[in-house]
Every structure is written in structure tokens, then in C-alpha cells.
Structure 1
Amino acid sequence: MPIDATEPYDPNNVFAKILRGEIPSKRVYEDEFAIAFHDINPHAPTHLLVIPTGPYVSWDDFSANASDAEIAGFVRAVGAVAREAGAVEPGYRLLANVGLNSGQEVPHLHVHVFAGKPLGPMLAGPMLAR
């Protein structure tokens, strides 16, 4: 069920529970700013999720409210995860959904890292008329 990215942070969301170790995950990266783990429902041979360790609902919330150190650390973590996964060549895709229209399902910022096969067009189907 898509979420409204303007809602307050819910400390009981699934990613908050993963951060606290209440729900297991197959972690591939961890530092003070981020953790990364395998998606439980992968859409590509490599499908990793990178989440900040801080309580941010979405990219919008994070970019407006995170400290400079958190932003730099998280962006560096996303790059490190892609490199460590061997995804830089032949390429990978990053995806961060924000809010209802994007289909964001978990109210904690997360970046998907997709790789391991040709990923096709950025969005499926033609753009709908406005």
C-alpha cells in the first residue's frame, strides 16, 4: 500500500525494525550512515536496498532535514554498495520512490540498486496524457 511521504516518521516501519535488528536481513554493507541488504522480493539478479540509519521518511525529508555529514555519508554508501556488488560495469539503476504517486511502500527512505541484466526503459509504457 503506497504511503504519504509527508506523514511523520513511523518508528515501527519494517526498515526501522531491520535497523534495530528486530527483523533479520542479509546485510552487505553497514557504517554509521547507512546499511544495505538484499531485497526479499528481487526484481533483478542484483537488487539491494540502501537505507540511512537516521529516521527519514523519504528523499524529500532526508534532503531537507539530514545533516551535511548524513547526506554525504549516505550518498557515498550508495556508491560503495554498487561498487562492492560489481555493478558499475556494465551498469546499474538507482530508484528512490517518494510518496503516493511513486508507489513508496515503506515510510523510511530507501534506495534500490538494480543490476545484473539489461534493465529496459526507465518507465514501462508511454507517458499518460495529463
Structure 2
Amino acid sequence: MKKKADNQKTDEIDKTELLNKVRLSINEKCQDWVLFQNGTYIIFDHAETIPDIENEAIKLMKEFGPVYVQTPSEDFDVTDLKKTEGWIVSGHCYGMYTYVNPKEKNWKTPDMAEIGLHGRNKRELDGRNPVIVYVNRKKIDNVTSNPF
């Protein structure tokens, strides 16, 4: 976590912490997913049918990440996490979720709407400027993805 001042938190969390929290938020059966820099990730059910998972993730992020007024892109749902602290914010794209860490804001007692709006904003940032920070692929021929 980076600090702006002594007690003022920023919207950013460490990439390693982000990766660890996202891993804990994803069902262990889901082995193919792509994580973007602001915490949005896309899970692929049938990644073996996708020749280039990174390009497909960027395509989906550009299409479903940005938020447009009075469209389904404004909708969201918030889920409390069981295996780690924080929440997952889902939207109108199947398999696209955004991790929200309680450390990201100075929340005393955040409500679901506040968390959802924050997560939707993070998805918007990833949609407008999709930067992949990690790709997790099902183990194939003893080759796996390396973090960062």
C-alpha cells in the first residue's frame, strides 16, 4: 500500500497483495483467468478453445469494462469474500469481477452501494486502459504462468 500522507490511504494496493487476494477470491476450479492492474479479472470457463487468452481478455475488457450512463454497464452486485478480506464487484459481463480491498479507502463502515460504486469505477479504469498484470493458465505440459 502506498501512502499519500501519514494516515491518508490511496486507491492502490501492492501488486503482490492484489494477486494473493484475487487468488483467494476465485473458486479453485477456475484455473484460467487474467488480472488487470486495477483489480478487475476475467475468468475463462473454456480457455482451451481460445488461442490467445490475453488478447481475448483485453477485447472483453474494452467492450464490457467501460461504464456508460443508462446502460447495463452501470449495474453491479457486491459479494462478501469468505477466504480473504474484501469484496468482489460483478457487473454485466459473465466472468468479469473486480476485487475491492478494505484498505483502498478510509471506510469506517462501508455500505454495499459505496463498495459497488468503487469497484465499478475500478472496472471503468481497466476498461479504458486495459493493462494485464497476471495471467493464470491451467497447467499444460508442466508449464504454468509466472506472476509479474
TM-score band w.r.t. shorter chain: under 0.3
**If the length of structure 1 is used for normalisation, what is the TM-score?**
0.26
Q: TM-score, length-normalised on structure 2?
A: 0.24
Structure (1/2) with the larger helix percentage: 2
